Amino acid sequence: MKLRPAVLAVVVAASLVLFASPAPALPPNAEVKNYKTGLNFPVDMAHVPGTRRIFFTEKNTGKIRVLKGRKLKRRACATLNVNSTGERGLLGIALHPRFKENRYLYVYFTKASPLQHQVKRFKVRDGRCRNPKVIVSGISASSGGYHNGGQVEFAGGKLYVSTGEQHQPNLAQQTNNRLGKILRYNPNGSVPDGNPFGNAVWSYGHRNPFGLAHKPGTTKIYSTENGPNCDDEFNVIKRGRNYGWGSGYRCGTRGVGPNPKGPEVRWSNIIVPTDPAFYNGKMRTLRGDVYTGDFGGRIRRLIMNKKDTRVRRQRIILRGQDSGVTDVMKGPGGWLYFATTTAIKRIVRK
């Protein structure tokens, strides 16, 4: 995620992107409806399946908020003491795959003191986040407030965590360092068997992987990554793979380090892609592909191959949102929901 005004100005101005369609196009039977407005920088959402309840994070306040239907609960589920400088704050949120049984909710945030990134687990009871437990700690947050990563995602029963390289490109290539990585943990924070380097690192060579998603029912992991002044990316994440960011990176190349993997999609003119989702919900005309927003107020459909391992093409389905799109997900009723910095909206049938 990039929030600096100069960068946002470039994002809004940029219009030439790889595979881009000439005009945004929702299916003719679809429209956008406000779900909840007047919000304070929601970053990430988590829907409790089979209910109308949505948990979401507020970047700057440190609050985990709860929507029940369209009603925002006045009292936060929890309030964390966060440092919200730059891109820091309360960022990613995920529910344990067996949430209905164990009530576990996970968040990624920047702890104010001592300054560091952590993943914390709560047990939700009666609308409150109780029994806080630090699951992952000590991730450095020392370099200026930018390139924090910040997402948490479950796939195949494992917890995946994205971290930025804190403006230190060389660290992204160091497999004994957790910065500039996708990390893989057991739900209790221990390192699982099968990780490629004997530690939490699952993949490396990442600059600022702000978004994580998975295909439901599989272990397929996808990530969006913010580039420098070029080369924002969408990647299919594989065990032990080097995604090419590091000292000496040159725009338009596969990257640096051993056997770097070029991105699945590369946006040469930056768009600042945010948290994506694989959609398998109620809208048949939207099913079966990955959707990602960006800080230019657009949503893209990444049309996947039959194995969901390659992007065949992309098209912008929505643009002109009043502020950046921070997250996309399948929500209550099976519709496609998305968050902006001021609201939660959904794409529904006309």
Q: Read off the pLDDT of each residue in 227-241 and give the average, rounded to a whole number.
A: 97
pLDDT for 329 beyond 50 = yes
Least confident of 99-108, 140-149, 211-220: 140-149
Q: Which two tokens stand for residue 223?
A: 């990530």
pLDDT for 6 beyond 90 = no
Instruction: Name the pLDDT band for 12 (thresholds 50, 70, 90).
Output: very low
Q: Tell me the three-class secondary structure of 195-227, residue by residue.
A: CCCCCCEEEECCCCCCEEEECCCCCCEEEEECC
- pLDDT for 16: 37
Using CB atoms within 10 A of its CB, is residue 129 exposed (0-12), middle (13-18) or buried (19+)? buried
- pLDDT for 143: 75
Q: So where are the chain's domains?
A: 5-349
Instruction: Name the pLDDT band for 142 (thresholds 50, 70, 90).
Output: confident
CA distances (Å), 324 to each of 215, 277, 292, 321, in order?
A: 24, 16, 11, 7
Residues 15-57 pLDDT 10s: 333 344 446 789 999 999 999 999 999 999 999 999 999 999 9
Residues 167-198 pLDDT 10s: 999 999 999 999 999 999 999 999 999 999 99
Q: Read off the pLDDT of each residue in 226-243 and give the average, rounded to a whole number.
A: 97
- pLDDT for 221: 98
Q: Read off the pLDDT of each residue in 77-105 and give the average, rounded to a whole number.
A: 98
Burial annotation 210-237 (CB, 10 A radius, 16+ → b, else e):
bbbbbbeeeebbbbbbbbeeebbbbbbb
Higher per-residue confidence, 192 vs 10: 192
How many residues are listed for the chain in this entry?
350
- pLDDT for 213: 99
Q: Tell me the three-class secondary structure of the chain, residue by residue.
A: CCCCHHHHHHHHHCCCCCCCCCCCCCCCCEEEEEEECCCCCEEEEEECCCCCEEEEEECCCCEEEEEECCEECCCCCEECCECCCCCCCEEEEEECCCHHHHCEEEEEEEECCCCEEEEEEEEEECCEEEEEEEEEEEECCCCCCCCCCCCEEEECCEEEEEECCCCCHHHHHCCCCCCCEEEEECCCCCCCCCCCCCCCEEEECCCCCCEEEECCCCCCEEEEECCCCCCEEEEEECCCCECCCCCCCCCCCCCCCCCCCCCCEEECCCCCECECEEECCCCHHHCCEEEEEECCCCEEEEEECCCCCCEEEEEEEECCCCCCEEEEEECHHHCEEEEECCCEEEEEEC
Residues 262-312 pLDDT 10s: 999 999 999 999 999 999 999 999 999 999 999 999 999 999 999 999 999
Largest CA distance in the chain: 52
Domain at 5-349, CATH from 3.40.718.10, 2.120.10.30, 2.40.30.10, 3.20.19.10: 2.120.10.30
Count the Cβ atoms, other than its own, within 10 Å of residue 174: 17
Q: What percent of the chain clears pLDDT 90, i.e. is strictly above it?
A: 91
Instruction: Name the pLDDT band for 1 (thresholds 50, 70, 90).
Output: low
Q: Given the DSSP bridges, would you call strands 42-47 and 53-58 parallel, antiparallel or unpaired? A: antiparallel
- pLDDT for 7: 44
Q: Read off the pLDDT of each residue in 214-228 and give the average, rounded to a whole number.
A: 97
User: How far is Cα 257 from Cα 255, in angstroms, rounded to an integer?
Assistant: 7
Angle at 229 between CA 223 and CA 230, to 5 degrees: 55
- pLDDT for 15: 38
